């Protein structure tokens, strides 16, 4: 049977842990894959943990008991917290992004893996201390961001639809008032989607008045689930009074100024 | 300045490469972060490459020139190719998944990061030799899968909408015939989404007759872009004659049998 050097084992362990955030991996998995003693593997894991500490990129926790092992908990490094929101403001301030009707075009950003990975890491880090069961979002544009947050937290994503589909089985639908346009809107979710008593966070791309977030709160109540937090990429500050509170955002959008420039600033959460 | 041991550097390099598939990372980035000589860093990378080779999990390519460096190319390991499609068939065969109207409930699977990561790795590996610019999908259910494939290929995701939105600017919309129900449907995409002459693959959750895939072909023609491949999670074999050819799927769905069981089998692509 193959024997590996410590450097080789460390590379393999790092890869496997990074690909499975917040999931308990039994030590046996590593000892069998890498043909190494348990004590040796534990030493390897300490080295990986130290390196994560140096990179300010999370930690590895030991989970005791029969189903025990180790799990990697993500963290947004200080330099990412400091630089990414500013970079995002710069990207969004590009004059070419302003489209007819004075909207800011951001569809590309909301489907860009490089940007979303960073944004999701900031949001996931905010909620990493909570015991969560689901990340919930509403179709369509916020889905990749919410998916990435769910992945980093090692939990299931749940996508709320605008209307109910035959392929969803029995659904619960609610009507809610969009906070900004005061229009009645609906959202719908399969009864199979959420277990009663679950804890969720709501992730979305953009918050205007917070009508959708409030709708999610009501929908979760129907499922007897709790909303433990709200995170959005961009907070529209043109509507300063929100229907929900206690949310985090990465940047704030203040509309388009008289010179035709989009006005953006970093949200207070990330200034610290 | 901090000095790191080889094991520590290897852990950091592995993490950074795994998080940035198909992206060129300059050697300087590693030498500065880890305060190591170029030759030392090159040796470190060889160790990571060897370990990836052992895990059958891809490779690290060296890119020469001024913008040169190294990039990690993903690969679906043999055991994943062999086991994952079978596991997926088992998960989908669960009797509780059959809902009114004889539909198979799979919404949870299409938003489960653990499953999608594996499925996306199979699909991304299929297309990794192509020079691609975009992964394209149609809202809603296939978005997380398509996002994950885009991420593994290090390229941008593009989401086609069912109808045009004010926040998308000028759009191109086409009408197409859904292959199975013979209904006219539309799809719409912002003109800003794709650069002329780009190469794309289409990723979706489910293929029935292939009407949507054919629609995408037409839409891409409008953008003067090429479709280089099609990959779906589940191929509905109840409609054996498709409107497109040359697609890959992971499993085939053959409807629900007289005993009320969903009939699934592994697609030929993954049997090899």
Q: Is A54 on the interface with B (CB under 8 A)?
A: yes
**Structure confidence at residue A271 (pLDDT):** 53
Q: Kindly give the confidence (pLDDT) of every residue in chain A, 272 residues in length, as a single tens digit, with 9 standing for 90 and above.
A: 678 999 999 999 999 999 999 999 999 999 999 999 999 999 999 999 999 999 999 999 999 988 889 999 999 999 999 999 999 999 999 999 999 888 999 999 999 999 999 999 999 999 999 999 999 999 999 999 999 999 999 999 999 999 888 889 999 999 998 877 778 999 999 999 999 999 999 999 999 999 999 999 999 999 999 999 999 999 999 999 999 999 999 999 999 999 989 999 999 877 54
Interface size A-B, in CB pairs within 8 Å, comes to: 182
pLDDT digits (tens, 9 = 90+) for B46-105: 999 999 999 999 999 999 988 889 999 999 999 999 999 999 999 999 999 999 888 999
Pairwise CB contact (< 8 Å): B144 & A156: no
Average pLDDT over residues B101-129: 96
**Structure confidence at residue B272 (pLDDT):** 46
pLDDT digits (tens, 9 = 90+) for B152-200: 999 999 999 998 888 899 999 999 988 777 789 999 999 999 999 999 9
Cβ-contact A126, A157 below 8 angstroms: no
Pairwise CB contact (< 8 Å): A111 & B167: no
Percent residues over pLDDT 90 in chain B: 89
B266–chain A nearest CA distance, Å: 22
Rama region for A35: left / alpha / beta (φ>0; ψ in -120 to 50; rest): left
Helix (H) or strand (E) holding A271: none
Nearest-CB residue to A144 (from B5, B10, B143):
B143
Q: Is A111 on the interface with B (CB under 8 A)?
A: yes
Nearest-CB residue to B11 (from A47, A159, A169):
A47
Q: Which residue's entry shows tokens 């990959």?
A: B231
Going from the N-terminus, what domains does chain B have, and what CATH number goes with each?
6-73 (1.10.10.10), 78-266 (3.40.50.2020)
Quote the pTM value: 0.97
Which residues does A176 contact at the CB level (< 8 Å), separation at least 6?
A: A184, A185, A186, A187, A211, A212, A214, A215, A218
Cβ-contact A237, A254 below 8 angstroms: yes
Query: Average per-residue pLDDT in chain A?
Result: 95
Q: Which residues of A touch B4 (CB under 8 A)?
A: 51, 54
Cβ count near B227 (within 10 Å): 19
Q: Which residues of B touch A159 (CB under 8 A)?
A: 107, 111, 140-141
Interface of B with A in 184-203 (CB under 8 A): 190, 192-193
Pairwise CB contact (< 8 Å): B113 & A23: no
Nearest-CB residue to A55 (from B12, B50, B192):
B12
Pairwise CB contact (< 8 Å): B103 & A166: yes
Cβ-contact B169, A99 below 8 angstroms: yes
Cβ count near B191 (within 10 Å): 12
Q: How many residues does chain B have?
A: 272
User: Which of A15, A48, A118 to mutate: most B Cβ within 10 Å?
Assistant: A15
A173–chain B nearest CA distance, Å: 16
Which residues does A218 contact at the CB level (< 8 Å), separation at least 6?
A: A174, A176
């Amino acid at each position: 049977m193959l024997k590996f050097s410590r450097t080789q084992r460390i590379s393999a362990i790092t890869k496997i842990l990074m690909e499975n955030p917040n999931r308990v991996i039994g030590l046996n998995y590593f000892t069998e894959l890498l043909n190494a003693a348990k004590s040796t593997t534990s030493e390897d894991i300490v080295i990986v943990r130290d390196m994560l500490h140096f990179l300010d990129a999370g930690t590895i926790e030991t989970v005791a008991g029969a189903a025990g092992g180790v799990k990697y908990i993500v963290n947004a490094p200080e330099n990412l917290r400091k630089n990414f929101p500013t970079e995002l403001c710069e990207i969004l301030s590009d004059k070419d992004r302003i489209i007819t009707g004075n909207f800011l075009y951001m569809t590309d950003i909301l489907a860009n893996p490089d940007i979303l990975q960073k944004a999701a890491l900031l949001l996931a880090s905010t909620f990493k201390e909570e015991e969560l069961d689901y990340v919930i979002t509403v179709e369509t544009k916020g889905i990749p961001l919410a998916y990435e947050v769910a992945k980093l937290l090692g939990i299931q994503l749940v996508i709320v639809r605008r209307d109910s589909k035959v392929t969803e089985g029995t659904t619960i639908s609610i009507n809610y008032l969009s906070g900004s346009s005061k229009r009645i809107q609906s959202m719908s979710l399969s009864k199979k989607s959420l277990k009663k008593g679950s804890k969720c966070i709501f992730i979305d791309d953009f918050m205007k008045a917070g009508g959708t977030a409030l709708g999610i709160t009501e929908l979760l109540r129907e499922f007897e689930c709790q909303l433990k937090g709200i995170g959005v990429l961009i907070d529209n500050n043109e509507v300063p009074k929100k229907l929900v509170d206690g949310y985090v955002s990465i940047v704030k959008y203040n509309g388009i100024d008289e010179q035709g420039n989009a006005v953006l600033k970093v949200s207070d959460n990330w200034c610290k």
